[in-house]
Amino acid sequence: MSDKGLNKLYIYKIALVASIGGFLFGYDLVIISGALPFLEADFGLSPAMKGFAVSSAILGAISGPLVGLWCADRLGRRKTMMLASFFFMISAIGSGLALGIWDFALWRFLGGVGIGLAMMSSPIYIAELAPPHLRGVLVNVNQLSNVIGINLAVIAGYLFSFDGWGWRWMMFSEGLPVVFLVMGLLVIPESPRWLVAQRRGGEALKILERINGRRRAEEELAEINAGLQQEAGGSFREAWQPGIRTALIIGTILMIFSQVNGVNMMLLYAPTIMAEAGVSMGSSAILSSIPVYFVILVCTLLAFPLIRKFSRRGLLIASVSLMALGHLVMALNLYQGWPPMFTLIPMFIGTGAFTLGFAPLSWIIASEIFPTRIRSKALAVVCFFLYLSSFVIAQFFPMLTDFFTRSFGDAAGVYVLFAAVCLSCVWFSWKKVPETKGLSLEEIGRFWQGKGATESSRKNGVPESVS
């Protein structure tokens, strides 16, 4: 597709603002790891309560899509992101002022609701405004912001790693990017596809015209209208119709794989993994994780040209295959007891491969695979299972590691299991995930409708050629 008439600067500004939600997700994920030792000392936390302090935000994220489901359809994508900003801000202030673990966990839970809202609405919003040939790159801006948030959280955690109010300033620091998000949301437009669904075509045309010029805007508006007329009304029952049901299952399973593949645990527990292996940089456990987080930042930048050049499925399969290799190398490393610094190599392979392909592509595919009318509902279901699986794996990873270490003398078996999960994902991606690169959202919607007609015909005994 030609870039003639395309206002790229305007598109990138919109994507940058929307991706601040991804930044906050990454920042929130890592800042708690820096605060945890100080929370443990101040509140006298048991191991179970330490886990609760971390997982309370994930529990909130599970409920976020359920709240966002209504908001994204009724209020719009932009206002849903604004609501997420509100939850982020009260969480930053409340958790910084917490007097005990229970109110701290409550504020973290509310911040998790903001995460769920933002990570559901931001990819939808970017995908619905992006031209088809730029959609993958622009949705990956969300992943880049996420990784930048992770790296800055490591730095903030180190700067505020002092007794007294140190951990409180870590929590307060999350409020600063929220201010920038709110300011940006005040000036960016609503999703034109949502506006058309609300019968506000005139407003949608003005936004599309600013993005693509008058001629292309009119063509795109006609395509959106035609797509909405062909699609169902958007209820959960309709999301389970043949064809669309297949898209829902594929999106959900792909997102579950994105959480249970083991690489997220490498990121979340990077300081712990390297400290247990004997790797450290200076006296700070936080600093020891910087090489891993720097690698994922570089790989996220490299992912932009890769997403533009290669097919979705091809890059996805290659990425997950390398992740499996990283896990197998880690298992061999632990089993053989190689030098501590060698632990960095499989971590670089696994986390680098994840951020080069699987991490951005899981969100790209999930944000574009569903028809417009049911996109927010379908993505809410997908995000619910994403955060549920994230919560489960975060809770069971330390238990699995402890079990294998006590039973076999090392944790190598954990990484063999993760390698098996990755290889299962390779098979699933090869067999089930369709190629969506370069297709408009309306073309993807028609693809699933055609597949649904084929499935119905098969069920009724009609030959596929006839349907």
User: E strand or H helix at 409, and its extent?
Assistant: none
Mean pLDDT over 378-391 rounds to: 84
pLDDT the model gives residue 416: 94
User: Tell me, what amino acid is at 276?
Assistant: E
Which are the contacts of 34, defined by CB distance < 8 A and separation ≥ 6? 153, 154, 156, 157, 158, 160, 161, 167, 170, 286
Q: Does 67 share its domain with 139?
A: yes
Q: Does 427 share its domain with 364?
A: yes
pLDDT at residue 418 above 70? yes
Tell me if 125 is assigned to some domain. yes
Encoded tokens for 120: 């559901």
Determine the structural domain holding residue 168 and report its residue range: 7-188
pLDDT the model gives residue 462: 31
Q: Does 315 share its domain with 257?
A: yes
Q: Does 115 share its domain with 248?
A: no
Q: What percent of the chain has pLDDT over 70?
A: 85
DSSP letter for each residue of 156-225: HHHHT-STTTHHHHHHHTTHHHHHHHHHHHTTSPPPHHHHHHTT-HHHHHHHHHHHH-HHHHHHHHHHHH
Q: Tally the domains of the chain.
A: 2
> What CA–CA distance (Å, rounded) separates 185 from 302?
28
pLDDT the model gives residue 153: 86
Of residues 30 and 455, the one with the higher pLDDT is 30
> What CA–CA distance (Å, rounded) separates 274 from 410?
14
- CA angle, residues 383, 251, 140, in degrees to nearest 5: 75
Mean pLDDT over 132-161 rounds to: 80
Tell me if 119 is assigned to some domain. yes
> What CA–CA distance (Å, rounded) separates 365 from 440?
13
Would you place residue 74 in the very low, low, confident or very high pLDDT band (cuts 50, 70, 90)? confident
Domain boundary among 166, 188, 210: 188
> What CA–CA distance (Å, rounded) separates 243 from 446?
10
- Distances in whole angstroms, Cα of residue 113 to Cα of each of 3, 6, 68, 108: 38, 35, 9, 9
Tell me if 223 is assigned to some domain. no
Identify the CATH number of the domain in which residue 287 sits.
Answer: 1.20.1250.20
Q: Are 193 and 441 in contact (CB under 8 A)?
A: yes
Coil, helix or strand at residue 307: helix
Encoded tokens for 424: 């299962």
Tell me if 202 is assigned to some domain. no
Q: Could you tell me if residue 243 is left (phi over 0), alpha (psi between -120 and 50 degrees) or otherwise beta?
A: left
Q: Does 295 share its domain with 431?
A: yes
Distance of CA 114 to the CA centre of its chain: 13
Tell me if 198 is assigned to some domain. no
> What CA–CA distance (Å, rounded) separates 316 from 294?
22
Tell me if 98 is assigned to some domain. yes
Query: pTM for the full model?
Result: 0.74
Q: Does 282 share its domain with 178?
A: no
Tell me if 19 is assigned to some domain. yes
Q: Specify the range with the lowest mean pLDDT, choosing from 95-99, 262-266, 393-397.
A: 393-397
Q: Are 185 and 64 in contact (CB under 8 A)?
A: no
Q: Does 253 share its domain with 328?
A: yes
Tell me if 446 is assigned to some domain. yes
- Distances in whole angstroms, Cα of residue 318 to Cα of each of 113, 261, 343: 33, 14, 22
